[in-house]
Amino acid sequence: MISTVFFRVGVWMAAGGMASCAFAEDGYRLWMRYEPLPEATVAQYKPHATAVVVPGSSKTTQAIRHELVTALTGMLGIPVHVASAVERHGAIVVGTPQSSPLIAALDLPLKELGPEGYCIRSVMLDGHQVTVVAANSEVGALYGAFHLLRLMQSSIPLERVALREKPRIRLRMLNHWDNLDGVVTWGFGGKSLWKWDELPGKVDERLRDYARANASIGINGTVLNNVNSDARSLTREYLVKTAAIADVFRPYGLRVYLAARFSAPMEIGGLKTADPLDPGVATWWREKADEICGLIPDFGGFLVKANSEGQPGPRTYNRTHADGANMLAAALAPHNGVVIWRAFVYDYKPGYDRAAAAFDELAPFDGKFALNVLLQVKNGPIDFMPREPFHPLFGAMPRTPLVPEFQITQEYMGRNIYLAFLAPMWREFFDSDSYAKGEGSTVAKVADGSLDGQRITGIAGVANTGDDRNWTGHHFGQANWYAFGRLAWDHTLTSEQIAREWIKMTFSNDPAVVAAITRIMLESREAIVDYTMPLGLHHITRDHYRPGPWLSVLQHPETIREDWGSVYYHRADEKGLGFDRTKRGSNAVNCYQPEVRDRFADLATCPEKLLLWFHHVPWDHRLRSGRTLWEELAMHYHRGVEWVLAVRGKWASLSGAIDAERHVDVARKLEIQLATAYHWRDACLLYFLQFSKQPFPKECKME
């Protein structure tokens, strides 16, 4: 059955078994557009793509059949039918050794691929080419089918295809910061996809397309509600609604999780305490877990933000984070559920350094968490900055599974205005060397468990989706959803590979168009760093979007506390700029392993891209370019603005090569991005000028 959403964006016509779609190019279809392929490519695929053989009657096998028929019909423009077996011509066969005699007979190497891996193989059968997608489970077969369609959308020949894949990380999750009133915290793609007021009686068909999109990139879990959670999410009223969502997601291998408010036993349970060591509290959580899993048998578990930014937690009762997490873990253990405990904890103390707060508070508990507890750690030690060093907890807790937390929604990266491809930022994180067990102990090896032999591994991305027609509020925002899924599945993929895949499926297969957009995407993150917070500057914003280097608790009491103001982080004065985190300052650099610590702590070896993160640098200090700090700072801001100017022109030159609707939308966003780039440059440089008292470089033209 075709999604009712598809009817709204186009016309579905069927005649004699043929179907064709005419869609509005509003971005709804994401990277699953299934547009007609070039004639030469169609001729190549035709001999083995007119029939689809997917044995089984489950909802997952139905989803595979529907996806293949819809996609092949759209791409090839020919009748594609479902068959019960390979006929006189070639076919695409998808299944497991248990469901398909053909796959069983091929005896493919599936054992080591686990429950989610798959094998795609081209074989000859009675003189006809057959493309086989084989897996150990139906969900694995679904992932493999989407991989096959990705190859075909990119016009990759299938005659000799022979590949095997399995995910490198076990739990690949989206975190939705969605509230029960439909508002999404730091969400810029519209209101929440979950229409709580309509559930469970009416389930928006769009949720199925959300599940399809996640399955297409291997995401297997989603947290439905905000980490600043509302205890009502755990009431029977809302659990029944959550169960209705889980029923839609289940065929696509997408498990549901909930953010749990630690004080829920008091707020909805009538208890007088939420002390994790209180037997009554433990009983309440155990019974709540039983109730949830009775409604949702494959419930994933709880995500918990505790004792952070005003949220309740175990420290409220003089208990430890391990006490709180382990109590919840015991409640979920009989149901194979997990507790994902967020490490975003910091308490303001005079003279402290927020960059070291989570390390100081959590590193001592390594090895003290239950086996089904994972610690979710932001990629950097502050808060999703355009650039940060990797969080020092990666490499400091070998006996605790650590879940990297990325932010797909662009809270500090221009919201839904900036064209910002985030894969290079995440690639930088994965490639960082923690030196936990010597050189080569990359953060990627910590995340996938290979460094320390972790049994359960995970990765999380704060979702950027909403009910906007194009899902993310910016057509290029979709690329970050896609990139997160692809890197969660295989963190060895390059940013360029991911960008080119996405462009081919989303915009065009034309080599010139792909090359032009790829370059724009790969340069975008560095350009934003240049015109917002270059050389290691961080958190110098107001409302997390506009420049605000002047914000301090003294001049702007609404910042409430010193570490919520910009001055706390850049520390500009007449001597220089930057936060001294060496032993002469906060000594937060000591959180890293000695090899990393020594490199960051030495002004001569510290990467210049992180210079002001770790050092208070004199204005006249000479950088490797030969320019002084002030000159280099000015040039970075200037270079960032020049990049947006150039990209505006490059995008204009693609008019006609990109559909008009999306081309105009992106062009409008680039105009706003340019205006804000000028604002960032001028506001920051004019503010820092009062301290540096040096002239601007002649190349830097202030307007």
pLDDT, mean of residues 581-610: 98
pLDDT bracket for residue 86 (50, 70, 90): confident
Task: List, in sequence order, every beta strand (DSSP E) within 111-205.
Answer: 118-125, 128-135, 162-165, 171-175
Q: How confident is the model at residue 79, as a pLDDT?
A: 87
- Catalytic: which of 126, 237, 290, 309? 309
* Residue 654, in any domain of the structure: yes
Domain range for 308 is 171-497
Is the model more confident about 18 or about 583? 583
pLDDT bracket for residue 499 (50, 70, 90): very high
* Residue 462, in any domain of the structure: yes
Q: How confident is the model at residue 6, as a pLDDT?
A: 29
Q: How confident is the model at residue 14, as a pLDDT?
A: 28
Three-state secondary structure readout of 480-495: HHHHHHHHHHCCCCCH
pLDDT bracket for residue 703 (50, 70, 90): low
462 and 537 fall within a common domain: no
Q: How confident is the model at residue 118, as a pLDDT?
A: 98
92-97-99 Cα angle (round to 5): 75
pLDDT, mean of residues 151-169: 94
Q: How confident is the model at residue 149, as a pLDDT?
A: 98
pLDDT, mean of residues 558-568: 84
* Residue 24, in any domain of the structure: no
* Residue 1, in any domain of the structure: no
Report whether 578 contacts 571 (CB < 8 A): yes
Inform me whether the pLDDT recorded for 10 exceeds 60. Answer: no
Sign of CA dihedral 300, 305, 307, 311: negative
* Residue 517, in any domain of the structure: no
306 and 440 fall within a common domain: yes
pLDDT bracket for residue 437 (50, 70, 90): very high
3-state secondary structure of 50: coil
Report whether 188 contacts 473 (CB < 8 A): yes
Q: How confident is the model at residue 47, as a pLDDT?
A: 82
pLDDT bracket for residue 89 (50, 70, 90): confident
Q: How confident is the model at residue 429, as a pLDDT?
A: 98
Q: How many CA atoms lie within 13 A of 351 on its CB side?
A: 2
399 and 305 fall within a common domain: yes
- The total number of structural domains in the chain stands at 3
Number of Cβ within a 10 Å radius of residue 349: 10
Strands 402-407 and 373-378: parallel
pLDDT, mean of residues 598-611: 98
Q: How confident is the model at residue 23, as a pLDDT?
A: 58
Q: How confident is the model at residue 125, as a pLDDT?
A: 84
366 and 456 fall within a common domain: yes
Q: How far is CA 161 from CA 69, 131, 164, 492, in A?
A: 20, 8, 10, 20
pLDDT, mean of residues 62-89: 90
135 and 213 fall within a common domain: no
382 and 253 fall within a common domain: yes
Inform me whether the pLDDT recorded for 90 exceeds 90. Answer: no
* Boundary residue ending a domain (165, 180, 204): 165
Report the CATH number that the domain containing residue 625 is assigned in CATH: 3.90.1330.10
Residue 176 to residue 197: CA distance in whole angstroms: 18
* Residue 675, in any domain of the structure: yes
Residue 545 to residue 634: CA distance in whole angstroms: 20
Asked if 383 is an active-site residue, the reply is yes
Asked if 116 is an active-site residue, the reply is no
- Catalytic: which of 165, 411, 501, 530? 411
Inform me whether the pLDDT recorded for 21 exceeds 60. Answer: no
From its phi and psi, is residue 600 left (phi > 0), alpha (psi between -120 and 50) or beta? alpha
Q: How confident is the model at residue 15, as a pLDDT?
A: 26
Asked if 543 is an active-site residue, the reply is no
Using one digit for the tens of pLDDT, what is the confidence trace for 288-304?
999 999 999 999 999 99
Q: How confident is the model at residue 126, as a pLDDT?
A: 80
Q: Which amino acid is residue 510, in one-letter code?
A: D
Residue 96 to residue 300: CA distance in whole angstroms: 25
Q: How confident is the model at residue 161, as a pLDDT?
A: 93
485 and 421 fall within a common domain: yes
* Boundary residue ending a domain (111, 135, 165): 165
Phi, psi of 546 (to 5 degrees): -90, 160
546 and 669 fall within a common domain: yes
Nearest to 112 by CA among 177, 164, 60: 164
Number of Cβ within a 10 Å radius of residue 295: 14
Using one digit for the tens of pLDDT, what is the confidence trace for 236-292?
999 999 999 999 999 999 999 999 999 999 999 999 999 999 999 999 999 999 999
Report the CATH number that the domain containing residue 46 is assigned in CATH: 3.30.379.10
* Boundary residue ending a domain (165, 192, 210): 165
Residue 93 to residue 85: CA distance in whole angstroms: 8
110 and 210 fall within a common domain: no
- Catalytic: which of 87, 383, 452, 659? 383
3-state secondary structure of 86: coil
159 and 208 fall within a common domain: no
pTM: 0.95
Lowest mean pLDDT of 47-51, 67-71, 299-303, 509-513, name the range: 47-51
Residue 393 to residue 402: CA distance in whole angstroms: 8
Q: How confident is the model at residue 172, as a pLDDT?
A: 98
* Residue 11, in any domain of the structure: no
Using one digit for the tens of pLDDT, what is the confidence trace for 358-370?
999 999 999 999 9
Report the percent of the chain where pLDDT is more than 70: 95
247 and 332 fall within a common domain: yes
Three-state secondary structure readout of 684-701: HHHHHHHHHCCCCCCCCC
Nearest to 132 by CA among 149, 140, 123, 101: 123
363 and 483 fall within a common domain: yes
Q: How confident is the model at residue 48, as a pLDDT?
A: 80
* Residue 585, in any domain of the structure: no
Nearest to 52 by CA among 141, 161, 184: 141
Q: What is the mean pLDDT of the chain?
A: 94
Residue 64 to residue 17: CA distance in whole angstroms: 19
Using one digit for the tens of pLDDT, what is the confidence trace for 321-343?
999 999 999 999 999 999 999 99
